[in-house]
Amino acid sequence: PPAPVLTIDGPSGSGKGTISRLVAEHLGWRLLDSGALYRAVGYAAGAAGLDLSDAEAVTRCAESTRIHFRAAPNDGETRVIVNGHDATDELRTETAGAAASAIASIPSVRKALVDLQLSFRKAPGLVADGRDMGTVIFPDAPFKVFLTASAAERAKRRYKQLKEKGLSVTLASLQSEIEARDTRDASRAVAPLKPAADALLVDTTGMGIEDVVAKVLAVVKP
Ligand code: C5P
């Protein structure tokens, strides 16, 4: 039988990234940060001087961009290597998030990233973090969660995260950027941000990380 998958979808700032990492560590499963793939393609397209709305050119870029993850020593942040260059720092900004969201609305770009995502499914299991993990990429996943939080709380979390990483941002501009990105992600024709019918919805507003981890882990049964 195929290896089990736990899909964790939701909007930006819902806590997906942190929760997915902790849950994967707890289970000893692999982790797929699918957002990093879209960020990497957006970044590579930008670096190549492409117009992000040029579907054909960006699709060729998605098909030819080499993306891999490298575990950092001493529990450090996983590095994202794009065409041989460590682009981790460039990929975290909200500008990179917006570029990712722009190219992610192109169906042929999404298609170009399918096989790479499926290849992460290996024993003993996979935690897949994204927008369409439970709906499109792993529809047969036995375990599905959709995380949400109020817009204000999501903006606050992202703000804290970016600040800690030394980026200069304002809360107000971040909130409006995140809202614009989520609206685009939820309203696109292909693989829109929405919970799978069989996903457990968890509103993390006001919840601590440990409580969310416990709730998500409870979904995973042997
Ligand atoms: O999760 P993250 O903020 O890194 O994702 C960046 C963007 O990539 C999202 O706003 C979304 O447009 C796109 N994305 C997607 N499908 C996924 C993961 C991310 O369309 N599975």
Q: Residue 13 is part of which domain span?
A: 5-216
**Cβ–ligand 1 contact at 110 (below 6 Å):** no
173 is in an annotated binding site: no
CATH number at residue 62: 3.40.50.300
With a 6 Å cutoff on the Cβ, whether 30 touches ligand 1 is no
Q: Considering only CA atoms, which residue is closest to atom 19 of ligand 1?
A: 35
Give 143-170 pLDDT, tens digit per residue. 999 999 998 999 999 899 888 888 888 9
Instruction: Check pocket membership of 149 for ligand 1, CB cut-off 6 A.
Output: no
Number of domains present in the structure of the chain: 1
pLDDT for 77: 84
Q: How far is the CA of 12 from the centre of ligand 1 (A)?
A: 8
Q: For residue 222, what are the CA distances in angstroms to 27, 28, 79, 145, 219?
A: 11, 14, 31, 16, 10
Q: What is the pLDDT of residues 86-125, one digit of tens each?
A: 999 999 988 999 999 999 999 999 999 999 999 999 999 9
Say what the ipTM of the complex is: 0.99
For residue range 29-67, list pLDDT tens digits in order. Answer: 999 999 999 999 999 999 999 999 999 999 999 999 999
Tell me if 13 is assigned to a ligand binding site: yes
What is the arithmetic mean of pLDDT over 127-141?
Answer: 98
> How far apart, in whole angstroms, are the C-alpha atoms of residue 145 and residue 133?
10
Q: Tell me whether residue 15 is in a domain.
A: yes
Round the average pLDDT of the chain to a whole number and report it: 94
User: Between the ranges 129-143, 158-172, 178-192, where is the mean pLDDT highest?
Assistant: 129-143
Give me the residues paired with residue 100 across strands.
none
In a domain, 135, yes or no: yes
Whether residue 193 is contained in a domain is answered as: yes
In the prediction, which pLDDT does 222 show? 72
pLDDT at 1: 84
User: Which residue's CA is the closest to the ligand 1 atom numbered 20?
Assistant: 104
User: Is the residue at 165 inside a domain?
Assistant: yes
In a domain, 222, yes or no: no
The structure's pTM equals 0.94
16 CA: nearest ligand 1 atom: 1
Residue 221 lies in a domain: no
Closest to 19 measured CA to CA, from 197, 221, 219, 189: 219
Distance 146 CA to ligand 1 centre (A): 14
Residue type, 82: V
